[in-house]
Structure 1
Amino acid sequence: MATILTKRLNKELREMQTHGLPTGITIVRADDLSEWLLSVEVLGNTLYEGEKFCLRFEFPHNYPIDSPAVTFVADDKWTAPVHPHVYSNGHICASILGPEWSPVLSVVSVCLTLQSMLASCTSKQRPPDNDKYVSHAPRNPKNTRFHYDDDTV
């Protein structure tokens, strides 16, 4: 019997493959239903022009009721963008990944939101507490209690 997770992710993947993805977003890997990788490129005249970043989506068993754990991949191949809401370990301080998550959101809508967040950035810098946070961060960013108070970057 298919679970709500299986039905929802199969539907999202089928829509991405059938209707295509928004410009600048591509599937890197989506061969299982526990983790997907998508690349995001910010197009146009932005601070991140010409840069590509990889997002890792880890889906909980009760997705889409509960949000996925979404991080920028930071490894030998990919780097996390230098942004006031992105820690160097790839964790993202964005309210839609926490208290403002809604089951109507999708993988594509999260990618678009983060693409827009990068496009509107006016200063490449890490969060002020980056070093302290990264040294004590849990593996899963959903286990962090972020403080959402700045939507200007």
Structure 2
Amino acid sequence: MTSSSAPSRKALSKIATNRLQKELVEWQMNPPTGFKHKVTDNLQRWVIEVIGAPGTLYANDTYQLQVDFPEHYPMESPQVIFLHPAPLHPHIYSNGHICLDILYDSWSPAMTVSSICISILSMLSSSTEKQRPPDNDRYVKNCKNGRSPKETRWWFHDDKV
């Protein structure tokens, strides 16, 4: 399954390729709890299965993340979205876009796919209710024609969900 919000694909730089190969080997040896990488031959797009943490609203629910790596990863953040159906969550839009600062303004090249996954699982786990963001319909309508979540000017104001 592919997403209509896939970024324009330029080949990965040598630095990005080396970094992703290293991350993939580390993931295979020590995957983060609650995640499975779906093996493909495409280093530039990873599909990762997410299993909701026990004792949370999302316990045993299964979702899929699509991670698209830009040419200059890790200097530039990957695009991370949930494939359909996206979880019902106050920071996850029905088109799979995720409002999480580390994916945008707070990105650091020190972050890895594993640390992104752990942050997303933490965000899911801390939610007290399953609902869409209040502006879901308007946002999704404005994202027609394949707009990337990286083109959005996110407003990070709520870290309690």
Instruction: Give the TM-score band, short-chain normalised.
Output: over 0.9
Deviations 1:10-62 (A, max 9, x none): 00001111x22122110123421221011111221111112011110001100
Tell me the number of residue pairs that the alignment of Structure 1 and Structure 2 aligns: 147
SS at match of 2:17: helix
CA offsets 1:90-134 (integer angstroms, 9 cap, x no match):
000000000100000000100000001101100111000000000
Shift of 1:82: 0.3
2:155 corresponding residue in structure 1 = 147
Following superposition of structure 1 onto structure 2, how do residues 61-140 of structure 1 map, counting pairs within 5 Å? 61-74=71-84, 79-137=85-143, 138-140=146-148
Aligned match of 1:59 in 69, 74, 96?
A: 69
Structure 2: unaligned runs, 5 residues or longer: 1-12
Moved more, 128-137 or 34-43: 34-43
Equivalent of 2:47 in 20, 32, 37? 37
Report % sequence identity. Answer: 48
Over the residues paired in the alignment, what is the CA RMSD in angstroms? 1.1
Higher relative contact order (CA 8 A, sep 6+): 2
Match for residue 36 of structure 2? 26
d(CA) in 1 for partners of 2:104, 2:148: 12
Which portions of structure 1, spanning 4 or more consecutive aligned residues, are displaced by more than 4 angstroms?
A: none
Letter in 2 for 1:8: R
